[in-house]
Amino acid sequence: MTKNVPAPIPSLVPETAPFSEEQRTWLNGFFAGLISLDNSGVTALTGDQAAALLNGRLGAPGGANAEDDDGGAPWHDQTLPIAERMKLADGKPLRWKLMAAMAQQDCGQCGYDCKNYSGAIVSGAEERLNLCVPGGKETARMVKALAEELKNAPKTVTSAVAAATTAATPAGAPGSSRDSPSFAKVISRKLLNKPGSEKETWHVVFDLNGSGIEYTVGDAFGLFPQNDPALADAVIKALGAPADFPIGNRTLREVLIDGVSLSPAPDMLFQLFSYITGGGRRQKARALSTGEDPDGDAAELDVLAAIEKFPGIRPDPEAFIEALDPLQPRLYSISSSPKTVPGQVTLTVDTVRYKIRDRQRLGVCSTMLAERIEPGVVLKAYVQKAHAFGLPADPNVPVIMIGPGTGIAPFRAFLHERLAVRASGRNWLFFGHQR
């Protein structure tokens, strides 16, 4: 007599999910009990599917859960001002209010897209609240306020599942993310503009051999920049502090060059100023720390200008550094194809220089590439994978590329790729910049 042996439970949880064997076994059994394995044909669940399945079972009626339903994310439009985006998210759970506060560019500079960055904050997997660089101060203030609400919000099943299945992802191979960077060596840089041009555009070539960094066209290249040493020295002079003042195991000057952002001045800096000054200056500093603009110049205040606005102020250098934001990596569209010159990557970078009052301001990374590096210099770098930005899989499909004012870099990469694979599809590129 043959016994009926139950079939083994299939592995519904991906092998890449960050669980122990015991956790994986429990989750497989749990999910197997929630779905009809005989008829579903399911062999594995993505993290989002697992979260949706669990929330559909334990959440709101009909398989929906307010924490998971973004209603089509109407705020996910970078052309809308933050006030309008927050209005569209009014009444939604904190997860979606946080998403609405982001810059909506899905640029990847934070290491996520907007949806998953907000999810990582809600789940507790991401504690850094200042990663949305394009969002600027408005986003930073709103995210901070919402994070305070989050501290007092009840923990939900959705948040727990998001933490386990979506946000808690491994750092990955060297060079694959901002949290797992590698190194790339500068081979050359060349100015592309003729004398007298209003533009200053540099073609920079990096050697990737031995770095482990791999990319495809459409991806972006992340670089960890350094501030202009002259600006760091000016900040030290304005503080009246010694350049070699110890900050941990480093000096004040070293930290100002590659550890903290010197533009724009963060709210925390004005809050610090309000603690150590008095009278009208205290009221002014306190107003600036809450987003008010008593003198109409808040948008002009980088860290040096903020110190100069409160002359004679002498904060403790360590407290001063703690009040500043960390220096974030910068992303540039890759302008080459790995199929044309393997082991290399190129960037085509517009240098940012502009004047405010009598002082010239500099783009941190663009001017570093233009004037503060030489061939042979090794920089910390990584690749940020593109979000739905790439060539069609079929090389016979015609391609129209339109980038008015956005720069030519990614489209140059696309053209090189099409050339390398001998794509028969026709290509049109429309681009413009100023004139």
Q: Classify residue 404 as left (phi > 0), alpha (psi -120 to 50) or beta.
A: beta
CA distance 220 to 222: 6
Taking CA atoms, 279 is separated from 276, 286, 295, 311, 329, in Å, by: 11, 11, 16, 14, 38
- Mean model confidence pLDDT for the chain: 84
CA distance 227 to 231: 7
Closest to 320 in 3D by CA, of 235, 244, 257, 231 = 235
CB atoms near residue 216 (< 10 Å): 16
| Cβ contacts of 301 within 8 Å, gap of 6 or more | 264, 265, 288, 309
pLDDT of residue 434: 63
Instruction: Output the six-digit token pair for 293.
Output: 């603009």
CA distance 422 to 163: 44
| Cβ contacts of 16 within 8 Å, gap of 6 or more | 170
CB contact at 8 A, 350 and 200: yes
**Hey, what amino acid is at 111?**
G
pLDDT of residue 403: 79
**Hey, what amino acid is at 349?**
V
Closest to 83 in 3D by CA, of 129, 150, 142, 132 = 142
pLDDT by 10s per residue, the chain, length 435 = 444 444 444 566 666 565 666 666 666 665 555 554 444 444 455 555 555 544 444 443 334 455 667 888 999 998 899 999 999 999 999 999 999 999 998 888 888 889 989 988 998 888 888 888 888 888 888 988 898 888 877 665 344 334 433 433 445 789 999 999 999 999 999 999 999 888 899 999 999 999 999 999 999 999 999 999 999 999 999 999 999 999 999 999 999 999 999 999 999 999 999 999 999 999 999 999 999 999 999 999 999 999 999 999 999 999 999 999 999 999 999 999 999 999 999 999 999 999 999 999 999 999 999 999 999 999 999 999 987 789 999 999 999 998 766 678 999 999 999 999 999 999 999 887 665
For 335-365, what is the HEC assignment?
A: CCCCCCCCCEEEEEEECCEEEECCEEEECHH
CA distance 170 to 112: 13
Q: Please give the distance of CA 89 from its chain centroid, rounded to a whole number.
A: 22
Task: List the alpha helices (DSSP H) in 154-222.
Answer: 157-162
The domains found in the chain, sorted by start residue, are 46-170 (no CATH), 182-226+328-384 (2.40.30.10), 229-322 (1.20.990), 399-432 (no CATH)
Q: At what angle do helices 47-58 and 21-34 cross, to 10 degrees?
A: 50
